[in-house]
Structure 1
Amino acid sequence: MSHAMIRASLPIRLALVLSALACIEQLSAQTALLTPSPRADDFILANQQGAAVFVLEPGTDPAVARAVDDLRADIERVSNVVPALRHELSPAARPALVLVAVAGKSSLLDRLAAEKKLDLRALVGAWESFVIAVVHTPFPGVERALVIAGSDRRGAIYGCYEVSAAIGVSPWHWWADVPVPKRSTLAIATGTHRFGPPSVKYRGVFLNDEDWGLQPWAAKTFEPETGDIGPKTYAKLFELLLRLKANTVWPAMHPTTRAFNHYPRNKEVADAYGIVMGSSHAEPMLRNNVDEWTAPKEDYNYVTNREGVLRYWEERVAENGRYEAIYTLGMRGIHDSNMVGPKTDAERIRTLERVFADQRALIARHVRPEVGRVIPNAPSPDAATDDGRRIRDNPPYLTRSDGTPQMFCAYKEVLDLYRQGLRVPDDVTIVWPDDNFGYIRNFATAAERGRSGGFGIYYHLSYLGRPLSYLWLSTTPPALVWEEMHKAYQHGADRIWIANVGDLKPAEIGTEFFLQMAWDIDRWSADNLATFLPEWTAREFGPQHASEIASILDEYYRLNFQRRPEHLQWWLPKQPRRASPLTDGEVQARLEAFARLRARVETLRTHMRPDQRDAFFQLVYYPVAGSALANQRFFEGERGNKDAARAADAGLVELTRVYNEQIAGGKWRGMMTLEPADKQWASMRIEAWTPPDSARAPVPDPPPGTFIAIEAGSFASHPSPTGVTWMRVPRLGRTREAVTVLPATVADIDLAAAEASAPRLEHAVNFPAAGEFTLQAYLLPTHPISGTALRFAVALDDAPPQLVTLEIGDGGPEWAQGVLNATRVARLRLAVPQAGEHALKIYGIQTGVVLDKVVIDLGGLTPSYLGP
């Protein structure tokens, strides 16, 4: 149970004590393991005289033993000394040793605990927690030991990789060729360092839309013996995820890739690494329908072919039942499509509830006999009454299971069924989706948060779908991930977090930030969020250039958040071509900003050490230069500068060729493909670029004095009497300082009580004249915590607040343009009684609203103008 959950269920005084203990524990965990100036009582892991000996007891879990081998290899990478490995306390294992073990499964740890030399009580029954401790005179003849003790096998594994990270080995040392710094002495600070449990129980990634990167790279470059994403590729992925303290994978599943279980070694490798396997929203019971359902698609029908579908599912559960897995329940079509068979939503709900029961019976039969008292021969959907009461009101139908993790992902049309009353078994984790563009679609109510199965999130950092895909670069700002996932966590989503990372590269930064939050939800806050990129770049490239690299990346996210490089066309597929609505001034400013950014990254590239250049190219140079060239190509083409546009296009092609053929000696050949790579899925991707036949018509900037623009971060924030406040979120939005109401769990405030009870923003505005003007509030296209609209209130001076409502219209044309522009505009007519200075007030009456800026139209703005 997380600290947040404990605090919610205990009296305030005890909650405060626990909160203080949590802070102490977090500080202990963050204390540097590696000490640059060893003291007499520190532990020397390696120096010029040699390395400490590792001790692994007989019977150690193979996954832990494998992680120990990685740690030993990392020590050699850093110090050029190979640590020896022993399986007993032999004389060769003295006077200093490293003991890696799982609490409760180690006689040596038991001895240390019994003799009160090491306190392991915090690990008892804990999930994926670990202790790294220097123990003095642990055993006769042993001067000191470095103990890495896990509460379970993954806890011990994470402990090994924590030491690897402390001595300077980046989690991306293989996947991004980040060099390992050399050190002659590796000393671990004396004391006890505690880590865990994680904030989110199951944390991981979904490899998806791998057709144009991961699959061809694996098939032709890294794993040609398989000709696919196979056990060799997955082994590298599993190691990376464990270094990032993740534990779960949804495997690649597009038609280009054979099913994960097609290669028997895949699941064995997952088990050997300690990875939990799952499957996506469209792949129940670990089945890859695209590859494995060989009958006609119309036969994947639970109404007419229940026995056939059940046999298909049962085969997989019986095959994989002894491996650690999360079972996805429910049913959709073969490949991200609606369920075949039922004709109405009521029928779909009845069918899904029957599917739940039958699937859980399979789990009870093949995974763990005590899973539940599911009745395998429940009434069929055909036998139910029209409203489904004979099934849904039958208590044994939705029974409790015990121990085997199960999830139901309410993705796309299935979310509507849940909102209409679909009953999900209480112990099954309900996984909410985002809207595919990084904005979470649903949040659990206070009543729902009592479910034993809890909630999770399926989040996109890459997407193939409508209105337009983004498959090439990774441009979702960490600040948006923080705002959305922190909000979701506050609403109980702490059981499963899965990020769709596409090909994994070049989503390295977003992937790691997502997983850092999943491990420790309190690590990043609105107060320290701006330090993430500087810390990350310092780890990857050292302190010398970290500040400049972080600044470049910050500008990269700012510019591309305004419009992703994959969305540089302002018409949707099957629509006539149309020019961008940006004014001439906006276009010029954008091109100049990208030109400056590209010049900075070009200069910095020449200053990187030779051993850093491959990593710098992958993590910084390619995405920054690529997005700059993509913008130059598009906007110079619109302006009629065909030579400049064609030069940018050629530059993009050459840049991508270098990535594939030269970086790291050709290691990543086939990994990077420009968007669109081909004509597949044309209804949801931009068109291949060609220069327009003619330049677009001029779009002048609005005349001076026709509007007043105010960034949300410049408002003064006044908390409510209960402490609820508008909080600035650094690096969020077009302005990079958007504001939102925190904590996100506060109930809606009635408009009549807004002045007395709601937090407010206030800004002095000087109006040149009296009159009625249009106030345009630029919001991030988030989804409301409850209901279908975003709501806030606006007042001028002491006038009563006016309600502003913006209907989301999820899936509609306004929503589509909103996610592509990363903004929605809510409008209000504002009466100004006289010229001069007035106090503009914005009341936060509903959480989930993220305000980016306010523009007051004094006359002359066009509806499409996004403002300065």
Structure 2
Amino acid sequence: MEFCLVNGEAATFLLEEECYSGVAKIAEKVCGDVELVTGIRPVTRRISKTYLDEQKESEYVVLVGTVGKSSVLEKLNGRVPLDKIRGKRESFLFQIVDNGTKATLVIAGSDKRGTIYGLFHLSEYMGVSPWVHFSDVLPEKRKKLTLTEKDNMISREPSVKYRGFFINDEWPAFGSWTFEHFGGFTEEMYDLIFETLLRLKGNYLWPAMWTSSFSLDGPGDANARLADEYGIVMSNSHHEPCLRHSEEWDLVRGEDSVYGNEWNYVTNREGLLRYWRDGLQRNGKFENIITIGMRGERDSMMLGSDATLKQNIDLLKDIITEQRKLIAECINSDAPQMIALYKEVEAYFYGNEGMMDGLKDWDGLDGVTFMLCEDNFGNMRTLPTAELKNRKGGWGMYYHFDYHGGPISYEWVNSSYLPKIWDQMTEAYEFGIRDIWVVNVGDLKFQEYPLSFFMDLAYDYDKWGISNYNAPEEYLKYWIDREFGSRLEHQAKQKLETIMKGYTRLSHNRKAEAMAPETYHPVHYCEAERMLKQVKELERCLAALEVQIPNELFPAFFELVYYPAKGSLNVQKLNLLAGMNHYYAKQGAVIANDYANELKKCIEADNRLTKQLNALLGGKWNGMGASEHIGFRNWNEEECQYPVRMYVEPANKARILSYVKGDGEVVTAGGDWTGKKLVLKQFLRPDTDNGTVVILNGGREPVEYEIQCDNPGIFFDKKSGRLETRDEITVSIDKNSMGENKTFVIHYRGGNIHCEIPVRQQLPEKLKEMTFVETDGIIAIEAEHYAEAESGDGGKFEKIPEYGKTLSGMKAYPCDRTFAENEGPKLIYRIYVEEEGNYRILLYTAPANPLNQWDRVEFGLSVNGRETRQIPLIPEHYISGEPSCQEWCEMVLNQIRIVECKDYLRQGENEIQIQAVKPGFLLEKLVIVKAEKKLPESYLGPEESYYIY
């Protein structure tokens, strides 16, 4: 049986007279989608309860209804399985019914939102993206649209009850844009936001709040009425109680105001209660989750720093008690309520263990949702204990793709990485946070990709959640197909996948706002050079893809991909070039000037890119790229500045500066009096038979040089040359023919650069597989390259692909489990060291916070079968989310936590065993270093060592 939606003419959409007005509005939007795809707009027609009795239709019709609000649907029960969605939350069925003439498509929802999701499911079927209007993703044109019985489906109930986002930090970008195009934060603008949210199968919103009042700007309550009409559940941020908005207070406060003039419950109790009562009476008739509690003015602490914990808790309990009385009086006692346990309120939640109960133990919050928050940089902190996991009222999570605050704000374009979102939000879900998920998306623009994943994960956890470790990679392919479809060839889609994965991973390693010239080391491990190569490869890929994009897809491509990718890559490149410019300038190498000029081009490219955005589609998105994003020194943008460009005045004589590539510990111009020589330690790696010396010109004129070497086993790609600015000399060896004198000299008229090649002795013949070999006192191991893995206590380590800063991550599952001592899952690593002695074992772990105030994040460490030690990741004085805590600031900016342990290793083979103990531990890399050796400065750490395989 075939249902023809469009074939020369369009099917008619039928809605009963009593259908929800919001459903009728969405039906019109879906008719607009049909027109966008086919050029033909269906009409909608209202029908009576007796429609089926009178039906004489000879046309295709789409029958839209909601269970419990549709007599027509009930008459179809049996032919359409309404009982499979009846009583469920936000579910729908989508079924073709044979009516004897032409088939009818029935879209039935279990409730208002279910019906709306069912309507938008038809849009998805036609290839219409959720971002069709907010990001200009035009669907592919089609002349005919048909469905068959294979398209019948019954939707699931959403995994998370309330799913949505928070428009925040909306100036200068979103605010400038909405005032230019909509005259402010008006109903017309929110209509676009609500539609986008519903297309994403969301239902929950925290509105913009920096300079706006949602319930006044519609104008009046038009925003709130429209939200309720669409079934959007409105709420307010953590410091906006009782349906009043932050900015409203300044509009009504005053010495002569009935509300008083002080946002202070101690001195203005009656005024604030009156203020909250009026807010509840005004907005209580709509569907809301009411924020309760209180913070100080402008999101600060309520009482002074000299107030005790008990004074703060007692005050907050009094406030909440009175607020809940007002809610019962103005609405009803069962109205959904939420308290955000954010910043210092988290301490009030815990209280003082064994001495004073916190809010978590107080029955005055029974039935209220506890809204937790990560540390503002995407890392979980407080999560429900097993005892509280199933409490009445449940749990919410306030997550961040955007943040305005310390140590550095990030508000520009997407810098969130899907593997990390997946890891942290699946952890939240497994800990029982399943009632509310809300994410701070800042200006919303340029957060489309991570937000799509966040919303789909919340809607269908079974598909994208903990059972699918490859979910981030699979989702990227799905997202590319959804947004760009068949109009891109397979090769172009591969490029797009490379770009999306590449730029988001680089941004994960270091956000654009946090990038600085000194982030990546200019020389050690060729770190800056390797990163610059990655950036340029991605830029070339992006440029090649740009010319393959069909014209009708270009605006969507520019908004969803090009601007955030190109912008992010350019900021990465800008800072890498600045770092190399500064390094070479300090050495006196004239190539520093080349880097300075390249850096200037990057600054110009940044300004040019934003102008291109502002001009797109006749200025449709003008202003959306206005957020500061280069050179943050603090959280506030006033201190932002472009990197300084350094220029070198060349020396008036011949000068060659030299160093070993990847090792900047020694830089020499070859003056005999310095005693400096270059040691090519690369040759200590068993798998390496070549190395490189970098030479730089420090003078005004080119310099002639030659290499002097009498060892028959040492070879060079060039024995002489004329150095203009920079050159590399590749050295290779034949160990079997090397003589005793393992040195060579680079001679020029200004000096002699002495170089030495150390060669290690042969390794034992029978080293076990996956044994890593020390080089110059250092061993580096990527976490996934363990020798053995053992399950334990019902758990096992699993690889999260591409999670880490360098390769991947290893995490123990179930992720909410605390494992008994010596009984948890284990990873075993094998290493070979040249000398016995004391060594430092550095574990590079994903950022982690205590998941309970009185708990620790721990792992077990055992070397060579000795007793397992329980090692904490978190220092005693650590405070997550607190900009005054240096350890936390470094962790979130560097996207890594490095934990150092000391142990004794024997000469030869050793085994290091890592055991899972407490939740939150995710291993990315191990580095083992001789106790007395200084590890070269770098951002990513040493590259992985040679190992037997």
**TM class by smaller structure:** 0.7 to 0.9
What is the match of residue 737 of structure 1? 808
What is the match of residue 227 of structure 2? 270
1:347 and 2:316 correspond: no
What is the match of residue 726 of structure 1? 797
Question: Does the residue aligned with 2:927 lie in a helix, a strand or coil?
Answer: strand
Partner amino acid, structure 1, of 2:302: M
* Structure richer in helix, relative to its length: 1
1:549 and 2:481 correspond: no
**Structure 2 residue runs without a partner (length 5+):** 255-259, 352-357, 582-594, 649-656, 666-680, 683-774, 944-949
Aligned counterpart for 2:457 among listed residues 486, 492, 517? 517
Partner amino acid, structure 2, of 1:78: V
What is the match of residue 665 of structure 1? 618
Question: Does the residue aligned with 1:261 lie in a helix, a strand or coil?
Answer: coil
**Residues 630 and 640 in structure 2, CA contact (< 8 A), matched pair in contact too:** no
What is the match of residue 186 of structure 2? 230
What is the match of residue 245 of structure 2? 288
What is the match of residue 30 of structure 2? 71
What is the match of residue 435 of structure 1? 375
Larger mean CA deviation between 857-866 and 449-458 belongs to 857-866
Structure-2 separation of matches of 1:494 and 1:694: 56
1:761 and 2:723 correspond: no
Structure-2 separation of matches of 1:679 and 1:866: 21
What is the match of residue 33 of structure 1? none
What is the match of residue 841 of structure 2? 775
Give a deviation string over 1:355-380, Cα, whole Å, max 9, x none: 11111111112223xx2xxxxxxxxx
Inter-CA distance 480–677: structure 2 relative to 1 (3 Å threshold): closer
What is the match of residue 815 of structure 1? 888
Inter-CA distance 675–92: structure 2 relative to 1 (3 Å threshold): farther
Q: CA deviation at 1:568?
A: 1.4
Structure-2 separation of matches of 1:130 and 1:779: 43
Provide the identity percentage: 33
**Residues 4 and 147 in structure 2, CA contact (< 8 A), matched pair in contact too:** yes
Partner amino acid, structure 2, of 1:129: S
Inter-CA distance 343–865: structure 2 relative to 1 (3 Å threshold): same
Structure of larger gyration radius: 2
Structure-2 separation of matches of 1:232 and 1:680: 38
1:843 and 2:786 correspond: no
Inter-CA distance 684–427: structure 2 relative to 1 (3 Å threshold): farther
What is the match of residue 75 of structure 2? 111
1:495 and 2:495 correspond: no
Inter-CA distance 366–319: structure 2 relative to 1 (3 Å threshold): same
What is the match of residue 42 of structure 1? 2
Aligned counterpart for 2:480 among listed residues 500, 514, 537? 537
Give a deviation string over 1:728-765, Cα, whole Å, max 9, x none: 11231213421211112213322xxx1xx211112332
**Residues 717 and 725 in structure 1, CA contact (< 8 A), matched pair in contact too:** no
Normalising by structure 1, what TM-score? 0.85
Structure-2 separation of matches of 1:364 and 1:736: 54
Partner amino acid, structure 1, of 2:187: P
* Structure richer in strand, relative to its length: 2
Inter-CA distance 686–244: structure 2 relative to 1 (3 Å threshold): farther
Structure-2 separation of matches of 1:676 and 1:337: 26
**Residues 431 and 816 in structure 2, CA contact (< 8 A), matched pair in contact too:** yes
What is the match of residue 34 of structure 1? none
Structure-1 separation of matches of 2:639 and 2:394: 38
**Residues 474 and 506 in structure 1, CA contact (< 8 A), matched pair in contact too:** yes
What is the match of residue 11 of structure 1? none
What is the match of residue 508 of structure 2? 561
Structure-2 separation of matches of 1:196 and 1:601: 38
**Residues 510 and 894 in structure 2, CA contact (< 8 A), matched pair in contact too:** yes
Question: Does the residue aligned with 1:56 lie in a helix, a strand or coil?
Answer: strand
What is the match of residue 687 of structure 1? 640
Question: Does the residue aligned with 1:733 lie in a helix, a strand or coil?
Answer: coil
Q: CA deviation at 1:54?
A: 1.5
Question: Does the residue aligned with 1:161 lie in a helix, a strand or coil?
Answer: helix
Give a deviation string over 1:678-733, Cα, whole Å, max 9, x none: 999864776221415579x9994575423221111222563524431111112312
1:528 and 2:493 correspond: no
Aligned counterpart for 1:216 among listed residues 148, 164, 176? 176
Aligned runs of 1:272-351 on 2, under 5 Å? 272-293=229-250, 294-295=252-253, 299-340=262-303, 343-351=307-315
Question: Does the residue aligned with 2:171 lie in a helix, a strand or coil?
Answer: helix
**Residues 522 and 579 in structure 2, CA contact (< 8 A), matched pair in contact too:** no
Larger mean CA deviation between 434-443 and 793-802 belongs to 793-802
What is the match of residue 7 of structure 1? none
Q: CA deviation at 1:285?
A: 1.2
Give a deviation string over 1:2-55, Cα, whole Å, max 9, x none: xxxxxxxxxxxxxxxxxxxxxxxxxxxxxxxxxxxxxxx23222223x222211
What is the match of residue 88 of structure 2? 126
Larger mean CA deviation between 625-634 and 711-720 belongs to 711-720
**Residues 466 and 684 in structure 1, CA contact (< 8 A), matched pair in contact too:** no
**Residues 206 and 498 in structure 1, CA contact (< 8 A), matched pair in contact too:** yes
Give a deviation string over 1:118-160, Cα, whole Å, max 9, x none: 22223222111111112223xxx54422111111000000111
What is the match of residue 714 of structure 1? 785
Inter-CA distance 528–674: structure 2 relative to 1 (3 Å threshold): closer
Q: CA deviation at 1:86?
A: 2.1
Structure-2 separation of matches of 1:649 and 1:471: 19
What is the match of residue 162 of structure 2? 202
Aligned counterpart for 2:365 among listed residues 413, 416, 425? 425
What is the match of residue 110 of structure 2? 151
Q: CA deviation at 1:161?
A: 0.6
Inter-CA distance 828–285: structure 2 relative to 1 (3 Å threshold): same
Structure-2 separation of matches of 1:835 and 1:154: 65
Structure-2 separation of matches of 1:254 and 1:691: 33
1:409 and 2:340 correspond: yes
Structure-2 separation of matches of 1:611 and 1:758: 55
Partner amino acid, structure 2, of 1:273: Y
Question: Does the residue aligned with 2:873 lie in a helix, a strand or coil?
Answer: strand
Larger mean CA deviation between 769-778 and 474-483 belongs to 769-778
Aligned runs of 1:781-792 on 2, under 5 Å? 781-786=847-852, 787-792=854-859
Q: CA deviation at 1:852?
A: 1.0
What is the match of residue 673 of structure 2? none
1:161 and 2:117 correspond: no
Give a deviation string over 1:524-572, Cα, whole Å, max 9, x none: 12143311111101211125222220121111122111111110138xx
Q: CA deviation at 1:412?
A: 0.6
Question: Does the residue aligned with 1:646 lie in a helix, a strand or coil?
Answer: helix
1:615 and 2:556 correspond: yes
Aligned counterpart for 1:261 among listed residues 216, 220, 225? 216
What is the match of residue 193 of structure 1? 153
Give a deviation string over 1:462-514, Cα, whole Å, max 9, x none: 00000001111211101111111110111111111110000001111111111
Larger mean CA deviation between 791-800 and 490-499 belongs to 791-800
Q: CA deviation at 1:170?
A: 0.4
Structure-2 separation of matches of 1:173 and 1:560: 26
Q: CA deviation at 1:336?
A: 1.8
Structure-2 separation of matches of 1:748 and 1:330: 36
What is the match of residue 606 of structure 2? 652
What is the match of residue 597 of structure 1? 538
Inter-CA distance 637–735: structure 2 relative to 1 (3 Å threshold): closer
**Structure 1 residue runs without a partner (length 5+):** 1-40, 372-401, 571-577
**Residues 656 and 674 in structure 1, CA contact (< 8 A), matched pair in contact too:** no
Q: CA deviation at 1:579?
A: 7.2
Q: CA deviation at 1:306?
A: 0.8
Q: What's the RMSD between the two structures over aligned residues?
A: 2.4
Partner amino acid, structure 2, of 1:196: R
Aligned counterpart for 2:63 among listed residues 99, 124, 149? 99
Aligned runs of 1:434-513 on 2, under 5 Å? 434-513=374-453
Give a deviation string over 1:85-126, Cα, whole Å, max 9, x none: 22224667434321111112111111111xx21222232221
